[in-house]
Structure 1
């Protein structure tokens, strides 16, 4: 029997196994800008050949197809899924699924806090575990004082940060790898030359071409309005507005954006949350708050651009399998839509006609169903990725520098460490403390101290906006009066700085126990009573005054 080989096959597969162990007969799959890719290969192996799952799953593999024109397209990824199907009298049949290394991020869920980092800085940290990325961002995003990943898998968090920063991603495939690319300027992407439009199917074309093409415009959001508040700029309207780009050039056509009867109002995705005039170490940062206004306008422009990014699409069919998502090309030969286009998505179908025996050749059929956007229409993630929500209250511990009993900023905020935070004890933002009263230079002021357990709520459930609403006793911090023996005692007891709680304190104690009713006021050092008018005292029983 002739030896079975992929030597002369236009569709080749390369895995960690020796070349020739697995032979590809079909490749199908999809890829999408700002999303992912998945390519499935139908494979053959000589019946009984040693094919170990452990040698393949999670390892890198690639496929390549050589078209009649000599153009080669590579498909590279990690083996995400491997299936052994039924065998025939000659061959064992397998399916192999390739996905990007980035997909591994979906297998890890965690909660963590980032401080003093831009969106790009955060993305670099997240992507480090999957080989990083080549990042080409022209509009540098602002530094975020505080950013929380809360109960999201790492892929969800990656996609959300990209969405908030107006960054999209795609891959550059080669025989040896798939390079993740991040950009906020899709018109500056790789260019793959000219492609012909010709409705004649099965003609004499050797070069790749499109034989079917249709253009669609849909109504879309045409304006965005942001509004937010910031307690350090209390009462000021922190707004940002932007309109979607219009008109859109699609070949020779000029398409006017149409849709919104009013602006898309967005509050939770504003940029005000990124800024704080107090650094994590407690120093004042002059001028930081003035950046909020530019940040709001920038965020509005990102959202307006993203909202329009899907408003114009061409859908084409051809044999142009060499086109990669995120790449651009110039269409020629179309009556009114010749021009530069960007590949937004592609569905690939490649099959080998016949089997490759040594010394023989076989044909390949390639089809690409492509989704395209005018190159000038910037692509960005839309709609905004949902932010995580904290469904209730959390507890945390108040933290501060070593040997500090209290660590508080000029706004009465403290720092906390959440129990889910596995990184370190300096990763909390400054957290506001709710009081029973809060007026202008008057009200209540009880500040949690280092080591206290506190109850934390979140404004509108937003993990980036925590508020301390109470304190809790625990096994380390017991109530000031033994329970249940003293269950009818209420009051307040403080602790002198550096003191012993059994000896050094101020106290206002009220006992409601029958027969032992008393109000007890204790001052650790001086007790001063002052009245600005008159004092009236009613003493129906004995009045004893000790001096000395």
Structure 2
């Protein structure tokens, strides 16, 4: 890398890096504020939007290892480095320095502390600002960029979309591919297909986030030069260590002037009470007498017995419920124990692991997973000519790897605010399209992708005025009918038909302008014409009261005892 600790790589080449501030974390959209300068006052701020921007930060051979830190702070090595830099800057004036063979000096210093694979902070520009001249009479202009994860763009719109017979992995992949988000799955579990799941008036980001949270998946970002990859995992085995930063030393207190060691300077270990028992229950109408309730617990010593009980766990098989109960308990256990720390080590990244060393309390010298980090990075100021020391500071939270991390279910499931209408669909208009439970398929008016061919939705149960064992009332909505759909528990994934309505195409069975006094039932012969019908109609107009019955073909009566008919 160059003589500077960090440089910026943007769509405009002559932007020079000054500082970066920002946050990133597991299962979070990161955002960095990057300040740069340029001698060009005419950079088009609009053309920078959506472009890639990378900040490249120098790292060292051994990162935070004790051996590298000792050598890096050796006064002889430090003096030799200063002499080499002086020779480069003032070779003509420092003849005594320039006469020292450079190769001999480099060999003496060796590879320890030399630049290795850089640390990158990459993303796309969502906001770009030209702030103005750096100061009076300066030739530099200050520019500021807000750099975000590619997922940020998935959170800007909203959509309605139905997914059927797909796993969460399949759904996430489909959406990430649609937005060209580079990603990699590192999953150890097997995931069921969801029969019917709806993205309902929510952003693509919220949709995939709540599904991944439900299934116990989480993600972080691997930053590269000019690109970033989303890593999706469900187990700690998917996390790696950042090269040369496998071990980090703990050294308490402020560092001395000129101390270039990369270390952890503060380490605060916290434990707290969280729920210790999780119970979930659901209901499947196809197995109404089968219990789908399940629970699990993990009570710590001294903990209160705190239970979280949830209805509608989003499953129909008990084995799936057991799996979700385990995931929920791991979710509750994640914040039971965590560590807050500060470091100047440049290889501390969310999603990566490291091992602490040299803490006076031996039980703290453990392997941890970095959960989130807050960065402050700066270099000496081009615009002012300052020779201030480069700075890289990180405050972060981590979790002992003895605890399986689970992202909290913080993304709310959308709820419907009331019933809506839909159209019954199937292969042939005017005919029943159903199955053994009398369910039908519908096309929702908001569904832009449905073909109205019977594959638009799941099978939807139909409410009846009376439903019992082998008796009640029966009338299956036919293809083309408009029905009223509500949702069990307000969940878009659980529609149920609760009524039917007429519309301009499907008119009422009588002319309501002149026959509003008529009530009754009228059916239509399948494959017949408009006159082929059975009906039972009641006329309630004073002086014209009538019961009108028609059997389109035959009429059958079976009376087990008496039939009384009275006329007059």
2:323 alignment counterpart:
298
Q: Which moved more, 1:369-378 or 1:64-73?
A: 64-73
1:313 alignment counterpart:
338
CA distance in structure 2 between the partners assigned to 1:490 and 1:200 by the alignment: 87
Are 2:271 and 1:226 aligned?
no
1:199 alignment counterpart:
252
Q: CA deviation at 1:353?
A: 2.8
Are 2:445 and 1:452 aligned?
no
**8 A Cα contact 2:281 2:313, kept in partner:** no
Count of residue pairs brought into register by the alignment: 501
CA distance in structure 1 between the partners assigned to 2:548 and 2:182 by the alignment: 64
CA distance in structure 2 between the partners assigned to 1:405 and 1:347 by the alignment: 62
**8 A Cα contact 2:22 2:30, kept in partner:** yes
Q: Which moved more, 1:31-40 or 1:399-408?
A: 399-408
Q: CA deviation at 1:207?
A: 4.2
Match for 1:353 among 380, 395, 405?
Answer: 380
CA distance in structure 2 between the partners assigned to 1:173 and 1:437 by the alignment: 61
Task: Write the mapping of 1:263-342 to structure 2, written as runs, cut at 5 A.
Answer: 263-272=307-316, 292-335=317-360, 336=362, 337-342=364-369
Q: Map Cα deviations across residues 314-363 of structure 1 (whole Å, 9 max, x no partner).
A: 111110132211000111111230010110000000111343899x9874
2:10 alignment counterpart:
15
**8 A Cα contact 2:163 2:196, kept in partner:** yes
**8 A Cα contact 1:29 1:38, kept in partner:** yes
Q: Map Cα deviations across residues 135-185 of structure 1 (whole Å, 9 max, x no partner).
A: 111111211111111111111111101111101110001112110011011
Q: Which moved more, 1:50-59 or 1:452-461?
A: 50-59
- 1:303 aligns to what SS in structure 2? helix
Task: Write the mapping of 1:176-187 to structure 2, written as runs, cut at 5 A.
Answer: 176-187=226-237
CA distance in structure 2 between the partners assigned to 1:210 and 1:348 by the alignment: 14
CA distance in structure 2 between the partners assigned to 1:473 and 1:200 by the alignment: 77
More strand per residue: 1
1:79 alignment counterpart:
125
**8 A Cα contact 2:201 2:414, kept in partner:** yes
More helix per residue: 2
Are 2:517 and 1:525 aligned?
no
Q: CA deviation at 1:269?
A: 2.8
TM-score, normalised relative to structure 2: 0.85
Give the direction of change, closer, same or farther, for the CA distance of 1:50–1:307 in structure 2 (3 Å limit): same
Match for 1:106 among 148, 151, 155?
Answer: 155
**8 A Cα contact 1:124 1:132, kept in partner:** no
Give the direction of change, closer, same or farther, for the CA distance of 1:13–1:195 in structure 2 (3 Å limit): same
What stretches of structure 2 of length at least 5 have no aligned partner? 61-112
**8 A Cα contact 2:368 2:401, kept in partner:** yes
CA distance in structure 2 between the partners assigned to 1:509 and 1:67 by the alignment: 86
**8 A Cα contact 2:421 2:445, kept in partner:** yes
Q: CA deviation at 1:40?
A: 0.7
- 2:195 aligns to what SS in structure 1? coil
CA distance in structure 1 between the partners assigned to 2:273 and 2:539 by the alignment: 70
Task: Write the mapping of 1:113-192 to structure 2, written as runs, cut at 5 A.
Answer: 113-130=162-179, 131-192=181-242
CA distance in structure 1 between the partners assigned to 2:227 and 2:507 by the alignment: 59
What stretches of structure 1 of length at least 5 have no aligned partner? 1-5, 247-255, 273-291, 541-548
Q: Map Cα deviations across residues 356-412 of structure 1 (whole Å, 9 max, x no partner).
A: 899x98741110101110012111121453211000011000011246722101001
Dislocated runs of 4+, deviation >6 Å: none
Match for 1:237 among 282, 291, 296?
Answer: 291
**8 A Cα contact 1:226 1:270, kept in partner:** no
1:250 alignment counterpart:
none
- 1:233 aligns to what SS in structure 2? coil
TM-score, normalised relative to structure 1: 0.88
CA distance in structure 2 between the partners assigned to 1:176 and 1:111 by the alignment: 33
- 1:423 aligns to what SS in structure 2? coil
**8 A Cα contact 2:264 2:342, kept in partner:** yes
Q: CA deviation at 1:259?
A: 4.2
Q: CA deviation at 1:133?
A: 1.6
1:495 alignment counterpart:
524
Are 2:514 and 1:478 aligned?
no
Q: CA deviation at 1:202?
A: 2.0
Q: CA deviation at 1:7?
A: 4.9
Q: CA deviation at 1:51?
A: 0.6
CA distance in structure 2 between the partners assigned to 1:259 and 1:451 by the alignment: 58
CA distance in structure 1 between the partners assigned to 2:381 and 2:463 by the alignment: 74
2:55 alignment counterpart:
63
Are 2:458 and 1:429 aligned?
yes
Q: CA deviation at 1:205?
A: 5.3
Q: Map Cα deviations across residues 169-213 of structure 1 (whole Å, 9 max, x no partner).
A: 100011121100110113430113111111143247544210111
- 2:448 aligns to what SS in structure 1? coil
Question: Please, what is the CA RMSD of the aligned residues?
Answer: 2.0
CA distance in structure 2 between the partners assigned to 1:427 and 1:186 by the alignment: 39
- 2:320 aligns to what SS in structure 1? helix
**8 A Cα contact 1:321 1:348, kept in partner:** no
Give the direction of change, closer, same or farther, for the CA distance of 1:352–1:257 in structure 2 (3 Å limit): farther
- 1:231 aligns to what SS in structure 2? coil
